[in-house]
Structures are given as C-alpha cells and as structure tokens.
Amino acid sequence: MNMGEEHVVVDDSVIDSEDIFAIIDPLWSSVDTGHEEQYVEGLKRFSLPQQYVFAICWYRGEVNNGGHEQFYGNSAGIVWDEAAAGLDEVGAPELRAILDESAKRMGGRPSKNQKGRFEQLKALTPNFDDLDERFYELEGSNDFDSLLLDYVKKNRASFCFDGMVDKV
C-alpha cells in the first residue's frame, strides 16, 4: 500500500548521527519486501552497500524479535540472500555462518516468495533454536552496530541520498 511520496535526504550530518535507521530510511520507507517483483524493482535505485545494510537490518530485527523462524516466515525473509552477502561485506563471518546454516535448514535456498518459505517451514520443520542462541550471543558480545557504522562511513558516498521516495 502506497502512503505517498516524501522527500528524504541522507547527507553527512545523517551519517555522522550514527543512526543506522535514519541512514537507510530511503530504503526502509520505500522498498516493499512483500513481493519479489516489487522488492527487486524497489532496490534498483539504491547502491549495493545500502541494499546490504538494509537487508542486514531486516535480518537482525526479525531474528531479534522472534528468531530465524520468524525471519523466514515473515515477508522480510526475502532479504536473506542480500543479508548473507552484506554480512560478508561488513566483516561478520560468524553471523554469515549462522545465516548460511539457517538457509541450509530451509532446504539450501529459501524461497524469495513468502508463501514458498512458509511451505518450506511447514514441510521441513527446521529447528533454529541453536542458531538463534548463537546469533544472540554473537550479536550481544560484539559491537555489531559499530561494525555496521564503520562500513557505512567507509562507503559514505554510497549512502548519501537526496530524492523522493514512495512510502510503503
């Protein structure tokens, strides 16, 4: 559902604020994770570094809210592949390994379609408890926010944005 257009600016002051959600606001506000075609189309106007951080934030948020089962069960599960690549890019190999193992338990390649992932969850009944625990321990013991912010600052130009976005 489109909620209208909004002008969004991400400049040095936004990046220097170290508010990761303000930095990825253009994507957070306008990229629809509900359907693959809209998702792919929505990402086109954004840089790969923006896409990676966006996907990582969705992955973290969903797992922190309800584990890997929630991540794959919700529409945000569509970002799993970009989140995996992003974890490599930001230098989080342990979290990447957890995400890879969760994907393996989903049959190796989770569907980009929410209904498909739901069917995979239903058919495979994966247990993610151990992965959820490892995720929480790693995320809690490492300063993951600093890792993300360092990546953003190293790729500062890729995160600058000044334009209109369709709010979803």
Q: What average pLDDT does this structure show over 143-155?
A: 93
121 C-beta neighbours (distance < 10 Å), count: 21
pLDDT at 72: 98
Count the domains in the chain: 1
Among 19, 12, 46, 16, which residue's Cα sits nearest to residue 31?
46
Look at 123 and 167; give whichever has higher pLDDT.
123
Q: Are 157 and 10 in contact (CB under 8 A)?
A: no
pLDDT at 168: 66
Provide the β-strand partners of residue 166.
Answer: 5
- What proportion of the chain, given as a percentage, has pLDDT over 90? 87
Is 36 exposed, middle or buried (CB count within 10 Å of its CB: 0-12, 13-18, 19+)?
A: middle
pLDDT digits over 28-83, tens only?
889 999 999 999 999 999 999 999 999 999 999 999 999 999 999 999 999 999 99
Q: What range does the domain containing 161 cover?
A: 4-167
Confidence of residue 166 (pLDDT cuts 50, 70, 90): confident
pLDDT at 167: 75
Q: Are 78 and 72 in contact (CB under 8 A)?
A: no
pLDDT at 1: 45
For residue 107, is pLDDT > 90?
yes
What is the CATH number for 74?
Answer: 1.20.1420.60
